[in-house]
């Protein structure tokens, strides 16, 4: 009895071991077959993509000639599919006529229409890739749909949509970009600011309106974007000066001062001097002094010289360094202060003069 049971148990264990080995062999075979299939597909794609890639490189190098657009647009679908990743990479890098020609190839192959449909896919990766492509294609027809993706549940999709809207540069997106900063999970303020700058002067209306927005991040981003405008109007300077004087946030007032400095308009000198002479918080007054130096107006030299002796170290420091940017009048004040003033006032003046001397050399 015992021997019979032992033989049965040994036979069962043997069958189990043999079955496991067979299963292992099957799994190994499947892995080998899958890898072989992948390698075969990769080699096939490489063969298919070889000629189109050479044509793409030649096309870009030649500046996107019209006679080659037809050839690329007429490639067999399997060859284009193999070469498309390289084409997408080129599209994001090239500029000028080569970019315009490549955009034409993509559009004639229906890439823009397919990407628009991909924006509604459930997979975030597909939505993000579609948004990226539409941005590179500068597809203005995609702006409303890309604006909707600023509310997407996926952070990467939101970020790619911001970048795509910047590359398209359509001012219609300006307000939606700003509004995306007021949400519980805002987009990157730096990326939004860059996208707004890429929208050009057409976005100025939305940026002006955003200076009254209750969300601080919206106001700060609008100020940063406004600083990149060229030839600002007097009314815009007045509007930013209002933020400098009265915004409830000290941070917004500091950024407003810097914005006036970066815009470089002489109309900004008076409000900056007004704040410098006021009882505003030291960081605000220091930012006003720094902005006056950025503008470099000789008309501000007398008032700046008075603040080199300011009780607040940062205000005195920035006033001295602003003077060295105010031309001969500012340097004259610094020379006088460096020889006739004791303590920190003289030290600030001598430091600024030393830097001015090094810069001149």
Which pair of structure tokens corresponds to residue 247?
Answer: 């915004």
Per-residue pLDDT at 109:
87
H or E element that contains 26: helix 2-61
The rounded distance, in Å, linking the Cα atoms of 216 and 165 is 22
- Closest of 263, 264, 244, 265 to residue 255, by C-alpha: 244
Q: Which fold has domain 233-361?
A: 1.25.10
Per-residue pLDDT at 47:
58
Q: Are 260 and 237 in contact (CB under 8 A)?
A: yes
- Please report, in angstroms and rounded to a whole number, the separation of the first and last CA atoms in the chain: 108
- Residue 22 buriedness (CB in 10 A; 0-12 / 13-18 / 19+): exposed
The rounded distance, in Å, linking the Cα atoms of 279 and 286 is 12
Which pair of structure tokens corresponds to residue 237?
Answer: 């300077």
pLDDT (tens, 9 = 90+) of the chain, 361 residues, equals 456 677 787 888 888 888 888 888 888 888 888 887 787 666 666 655 555 667 777 777 767 777 778 878 887 777 777 777 888 888 888 888 888 888 888 898 899 999 999 999 999 999 999 999 999 999 999 999 999 999 999 999 999 999 999 999 999 999 999 999 998 888 889 999 999 999 988 999 999 999 999 999 999 999 999 998 877 889 999 999 999 999 999 999 999 999 999 999 999 999 999 999 999 999 999 999 999 999 999 999 999 999 999 999 999 999 999 999 999 999 999 999 999 888 999 999 999 999 998 988 7
Q: Are 292 and 323 in contact (CB under 8 A)?
A: no
Residue bearing tokens 């970009």: 177
Spell out the residues 6+ positions from residue 235 whose beta carbon is closer than 8 angstroms to its own.
none
Residue bearing tokens 């499947």: 30
- Closest of 304, 343, 351, 303 to residue 323, by C-alpha: 304
The rounded distance, in Å, linking the Cα atoms of 108 and 277 is 62
């Amino acid at each position: 009895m015992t021997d019979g049971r032992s033989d049965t148990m040994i036979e069962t264990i043997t069958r189990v071991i043999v079955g496991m080995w067979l299963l292992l062999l099957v799994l190994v075979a499947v892995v080998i077959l899958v890898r072989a299939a992948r390698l075969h597909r990769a080699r096939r794609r490489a063969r298919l993509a070889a000629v189109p890639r050479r044509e793409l490189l030649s096309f870009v190098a030649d500046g996107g000639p019209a006679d080659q657009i037809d050839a690329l647009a007429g490639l067999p679908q399997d060859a284009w599919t193999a070469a498309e990743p390289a084409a997408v990479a080129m599209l994001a890098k090239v500029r000028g006529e080569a970019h315009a020609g490549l955009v034409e190839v993509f559009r004639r192959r229906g890439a823009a229409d397919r990407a628009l449909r991909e924006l509604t896919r459930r997979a975030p990766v597909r939505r993000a890739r579609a948004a990226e492509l539409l941005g590179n294609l500068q597809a203005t027809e995609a702006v409303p749909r890309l604006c909707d993706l600023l509310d997407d549940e996926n952070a990467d999709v939101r970020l790619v949509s911001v970048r795509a809207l910047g590359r398209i540069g359509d001012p219609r997106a300006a307000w939606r970009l700003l509004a995306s900063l007021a949400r519980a999970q805002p987009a990157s303020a730096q990326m939004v600011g860059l996208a707004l700058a890429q929208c050009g002067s057409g976005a100025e209306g939305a940026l002006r309106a955003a200076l009254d927005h209750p969300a601080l991040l919206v106001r700060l981003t609008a100020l940063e974007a406004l600083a990149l405008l060229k030839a600002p109007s007097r009314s815009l300077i007045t509007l930013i000066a209002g933020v400098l004087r009265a915004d409830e946030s000290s941070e917004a007032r500091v950024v407003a001062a810097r914005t006036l400095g970066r815009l470089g308009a002489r109309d900004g000198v008076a409000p900056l001097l007004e704040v410098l002479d006021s009882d505003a918080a030291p960081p605000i007054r220091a930012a006003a002094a720094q902005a006056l130096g950025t503008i470099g107006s000789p008309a501000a030299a007398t008032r700046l010289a008075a603040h080199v002796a300011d009780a607040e170290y940062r205000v005195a420091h920035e006033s001295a360094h602003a003077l060295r940017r105010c031309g001969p009048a500012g340097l004259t004040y610094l020379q006088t202060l460096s020889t006739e003033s004791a303590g920190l006032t003289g030290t600030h003046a001598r430091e600024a003069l030393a830097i001015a001397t090094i810069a001149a050399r």
